[in-house]
Structure 1
C-alpha cells in the first residue's frame, strides 16, 4: 500500500499539473462518493460540485490526497495499487505497483480541463474518491479522525500541520498492550505509516514487532520515532529509491546476513530479525 512517501510523490506530481484547473467535465463509475450513495439528487449535486469549479490546491493528509475546489473538498485513498494519472501522461514511480503505466481499463473517475484528462486508476476497485461540497478539509471527518502526520512537508494540508512528537508516540505506546507494530499501523495514533515502513523502522530501532507496546521504554520510543522520521525523509529525498533503505522488508536476510523471519501481526506479513530485535 502506498505510504507517506509514495503519497507525497503523487501529490507533488499532481500539484505541478492540475493546480489552477477550471474543471470542464467529470465522470465516474463504481462505488465512488459513498457519502452520497442514497441521495436522489446525487448526479445533479456532483455536476454542480465539479463543473466550473477551480481546483486551487492538492495537499497531503497521511495516506490521503486532498484536493481543494472552489466548491468544496475532494479526498482519495490509493489503497494498494491506486494512483492518479493523466490519460496522455501515465504516472509511474519506483513503487512496486507503479513501475509500469496503468491499465487504462482500471480508471474509474476522471476530471477534464485544459484539453487533458486526470484519472483515478485503482485496479482493485477498493480505493474511493469522496466529495464534500461546501466544506474545507478542516471539516472532513475522515481527515479529522487521523493522528498527526509523521512528517510535515510543503505539501502537507494546512489544516493538519500538528507535529508528530516523541511524546505523542510514547503516550500511544504506554497506553496499550497491543503489539508495538499494531500501534504504528493505527492511523488514529499517527498518520502515514504502513506495513513496509513499520517493519523497517522497528528493525532500525532494534525492537521486536510483537513486543507489547507498553513494554517499550521511553528511550526506545525516541529511537523508534527517529527511525520512522528518518526513513520517510530518506525515501522522499531519494525519489522513492529503496535500494539503500529497505533492509528487511521482503528480504531473506538483513545486511549482516542474519535470517529475516516472517510472522503475522494484525493479519499483515511482518519481517523482522529475532537476533537483532528484542
Structure 2
C-alpha cells in the first residue's frame, strides 16, 4: 500500500499534469470505486476544472471548481496516469477515467480494485470521510509533538508497532516506515506502547519525522509496483535497513535481521538492537 511519502509524491507529480484541465466526460468499468455512483459523480464534476491537489495522510484531495473535492484513497495498488490522447487504448487495470476538454485523459488503474473515490463539498472532507475525521497529526514537527505522542502511547498496552500504524496516532505511517522508524529508535516492535520511556518516545517521534522526510525527498519507496503519476519509481527502497532484509546483517551491529508477525503484519527488526519486551512489560 502506498504510504504517506508515496502519496505525497503522487500529489506533487499529479498536480502539474491536471491543474487547469476541464472535465468533459467520466467513465468507469468498475463503479464500486466511485462511492457516490457514476451518475452522481458525472452530475457533480463534468464541466468542472481541476485547480490543485492536496493530501491528508494517505488520502489525495483533488480540488475542483464548483466547490467540489474528489477524495481518493489508493489503497493497495491504485495509480494515476495522464494519457495525452483520450482515444489511446486503456492500459490493463484502468477502471476510472476523466476525459478533458483538451483531448487528454486522467486514468486511474487498480489491479486489486480496492481504491475508492468520494466527491464531497470542499471543506467538508474531514466530516464526510470517516478516515479523515479520526486522523492524527501529519508527521512533521509543526503538527506532531512529543507531548501529544507520549499521551497517546500512554493509553495503549498494545504493541508499539500496531499503535503507530493506527492512523489516529500519526498520519500516513504504514508497514515499511513503522519498521524503519522502530529500528532507528532501537525499540522492539512488540513493546507495549505504554512501556516506552520518555527518551524512547522522543527517539521514535524524531525517527518517524526524519524517515518520512527522507523518503519524500527520494520520491517514496518502490518495493512492489508503486510508481508516481509520471510513471517513475521511488528511490528510498535503496535506503531501507530492515524492511525486506530478513536474514541479512544489521548494519548497526551485524546481527541477522528477523521477520515476525505483529498484529497480523509482517515485521522486520534486529533482535540485538531492538531488545524484546520482558514478561513484566
TM bin (shorter chain):
0.7 to 0.9
C-alpha change, 1:170 and 1:196, in structure 2 (3 Å) is same
Please report how far the alpha carbon of residue 133 of structure 1 lies from its aligned counterpart in structure 2 after TM superposition: 4.7
**Contact map agreement 1:231 1:245 (CA 8 A) in 2:** no
Q: Does 1:149 align with 2:134?
A: no
Give matches, 1:248-267, under 5 Å. Answer: 248-251=242-245, 252-253=247-248, 254-255=250-251, 256-267=253-264
Counterpart contact for 1:199–1:272, Cα < 8 Å: yes
Q: Decide whether the 8 Å contact of 2:154 with 2:193 is kept in 1.
A: yes
Q: 1:244 to 1:27 in 2, by over 3 A?
A: closer
* 1:163 Cα offset (Å): 0.6
Offset at residue 111 of structure 1 (A):
0.9
What is aligned with 2:105?
A: 117
Rounded Cα–Cα distance in structure 1 between residues aligned with 2:26 and 2:119: 13
RMSD of the alignment, in Å?
Answer: 2.0
Stretches of structure 1 that go unaligned for 5 or more consecutive residues are: 90-102, 153-161
CA distance in 1, matches of 2:29, 2:118: 13
How much does 1:244 deviate?
A: 5.2
Would you say the 8 A contact 1:68–1:136 is kept in 2?
A: no
TM-score (norm 2): 0.83
Deviation by residue 1:126-162 (Cα, 9 ceiling, x = unmatched): 111112257543443332221112138xxxxxxxxx7
Tell me what 1:140 maps to: 128
Q: Name the structure 2 match of 1:26.
A: 26
Residue 183 of structure 1 corresponds to 163
Name the residue aligned to 1:86: 82
**2:201 paired with 1:213:** no
Which segments of 5 or more consecutive residues in structure 2 lack a partner in the other structure?
A: 221-234, 276-281
Q: Number of residue pairs matched?
A: 250
Residues 29 and 133 from structure 1, CA distance in 2 versus in 1: closer, same or farther, beyond 3 angstroms? farther
Equivalent of residue 268 in structure 1, options 253, 265, 268: 265
